Amino acid sequence: MSSEKPVRLMSLDAYRGFVMLLMASSGLRLAQVASDDRVLTQFDGTQWANAWRTLWDTLQYQLSHVAWTGCSAWDLIQPSFMFMVGVSLPFSMARRDAEGRAGWKSFLHTLWRSLVLVGLGVALSSSRSGINFTFANVLCQIGLGYTFLYLLRGLSLKSLAVSATVVLVGYGTWFALQPIGQAEVDLTKQYLTERAADPELAELEWSQFQGWAAHWNKHTNAAAQVDRDLLNRLPRLEETWNGKGFWANRGGYQTLNFIPSLATMIFGLMAGLVLRSDRDDGARLKWLFCAGLACFGIALAADTTLWPTQWLPIGQQQQLHDYSWSICPAVKKIWSPTWAVFAAGWTFWFLGFFYWLVDVKGCRRIVTPFAIVGLNSIAMYCMAQLFKGWIGGAMSVVARTIDEIGGWSDGLSWWLNADSFAYASVLDYSLRLFAMWCVCLWMYRRSLYIRI
């Protein structure tokens, strides 16, 4: 056993901090601003009108979750978290070995960490009304899969690749072959229709695909069926409808997502092993690039709807559509196997970029603001879940107080009021994010880190 502690990988902290800041920012509410006519019509009648509207259409798409199939930049936040859990495992295990906490001590710590993550995820989803037993958020998903990931830590890269393949192919096969009870499907459709804001559009909640792919429809898939059994065995806050308190997760997320997302963590574990290996920097970057490229190739071959055909002329788009196919749809909200592989392609490349920038080129100073958050990611996540709204309210009170003292009718409050200033939410959420970052900076300067 080596007594020397491994060097911390700053590029991983920077990547984690960047993704955490993106999540905590709520996209600076730019997706909502993109729907404001005051913004969209700002350059109407000028040569910039089309480019301006295209810019905001792009921002709205990229900073929102896709409705069901496909991928936006915002959809890559959770896969990045899952992936980085795997990347960091070889480094954390080396540190535990150096501290003499190997064997059963390490395994018990892993179990404890899994339980704490699940418990924290449930707690953050609950309210004063009671405990909301849901396991679809990122903390619960990491906690449910983390112990299984730990048990795979000693395998070779080839064995890990086989393990990820078995997980994804096995889960996808179960999804495709599991029969869905028609009586339960009919009741689910009735439940969703009765609670829809527009009953005429309710069918969009379960009719995304036809034929073979219908097994990946929202709310009427195998994992949704498991949740209607599992979650109703636990105390529910929801009003009972036809004997059940839980019928559907509003976003379509499922507890069993942790199984295919385990493959995402395995991909991260493979990347972590490569970064800790004796390979030189060039070989490490080449491996990450080729791994990402292979993932893209597999995913694009499995589902042609991922192809970037929107940049082609309409006629060519139609021609490609006539020959399109989908062996397994790419759906992030149920972590379909195609989605897991496609998202892994991006995470391999993101990690490769940060590794090249920080550890190869030595550009550490420019990523320090990200790394400060990455070193206290749990703290930032909890602040974003618990205090972001409170910070916004406090800023509004402070702004009104300053305006009253100064006797200003159009003072600071004007800039934070969306009715008067179209970009108020961007400023508002920028200030909230800065306040939370300052807390992380304060903790960093005092070497205070929240670990699980």
Give pLDDT tens digits for 81-109.
999 999 999 998 888 877 777 778 889 99
Q: How far apart are CA 29 and CA 12, in angstroms?
A: 27
Local confidence band at 410 (pLDDT 50, 70, 90 cut-offs): confident
Q: How far apart are CA 241 and CA 248, in angstroms?
A: 11
CB-count burial class (<10 Å; 0-12, 13-18, 19+) for 299: buried
| pLDDT of residue 2 exceeding 50 | no
**Averaged pLDDT of the chain:** 92
Ranges 241-250, 315-324, 435-444: which has the least confidence: 315-324
DSSP calls for 206-271: T-S--GGGGGGSTTSSHHHHHHHHHGGGS---SPPBTTBS----TT---GGGHHHHHHHHHHHHHH
Query: pLDDT over 70 for what percent of the chain?
Result: 95
Q: What is the mean pLDDT of residues 405-430?
A: 89
Q: How far apart are CA 79 and CA 12, in angstroms?
A: 14
Residues in the chain: 452
pLDDT of residue 349: 98
Q: What is the pTM of this model?
A: 0.93
| pLDDT of residue 215 exceeding 80 | yes
Q: How far from 282 is each of 277, 358, 361, 414, CA to CA, in Å? A: 12, 14, 12, 52
| pLDDT of residue 340 exceeding 90 | yes
Q: What is the mean pLDDT of residues 44-64?
A: 94
Q: How far from 238 is each of 184, 292, 333, 441, CA to CA, in Å? A: 18, 42, 22, 40
CB-count burial class (<10 Å; 0-12, 13-18, 19+) for 67: exposed
Sign of CA dihedral 449, 355, 336, 71: positive
pLDDT of residue 26: 95
| pLDDT of residue 49 exceeding 80 | yes
| pLDDT of residue 323 exceeding 70 | no
| pLDDT of residue 242 exceeding 70 | yes
pLDDT of residue 276: 94
Local confidence band at 374 (pLDDT 50, 70, 90 cut-offs): very high
DSSP for residue 360: I
